[in-house]
Structure 1
């Protein structure tokens, strides 16, 4: 299993690159969720957790602090296709805010996942330097 995991790509994204990666993937997943599942929050939330984990794993060690910050922004950006809303920009903004409020559990969960992974990576990096 370790050999199979080592064959996976191991990119090192900058802080900005990690944010753009997460936002782009979440927007794409939001579009797919809207097309296939009519914007159901369950699928979007379930798909957010692995994106948050991958963002925290793939960000450079120097930019670890950006992973838990960029992941919630990406979640909010990805809700644009599934939020709905009518009545122009104001209606769209209110729909996004409502979607964020109703999916706060997924938002907090993904942020926690990214934060824990970034913290563990930082602690391991500090221990390696200490040794």
Structure 2
């Protein structure tokens, strides 16, 4: 089973991702087994789409958990992630260059999303990725 951490990252000033400037905003950061998804090849060129991550609490289904920084998931090679929820676990299954599967404790998964939601300061730092084109 994989360990999951989800936290908001508030940006003071300006950052550039894939040629796009973002300022005074919040990105959602995900760590799996202590490693940022930005450093895991399977997640390359992905920005977390918070609305869909939060929606994945509804249970098994396909969710657009990651998108391109421009908001078009196809630009970064992203499509829906298959989320499978059981009584005890939540799994992510997707294929990009390689087939990937991650499995988390359901209790931790729910807890991380709720904790991240409580830390968001959207009045001062709106979400950087607040909309996405659905595939």
Q: TM tier, shorter chain?
A: under 0.3
User: What TM-score comes out, normalization by structure 1 length?
Assistant: 0.26
Higher-strand-fraction structure: 2
Higher-helix-fraction structure: 1
Q: Which structure's CA Rg is the greater one?
A: 1
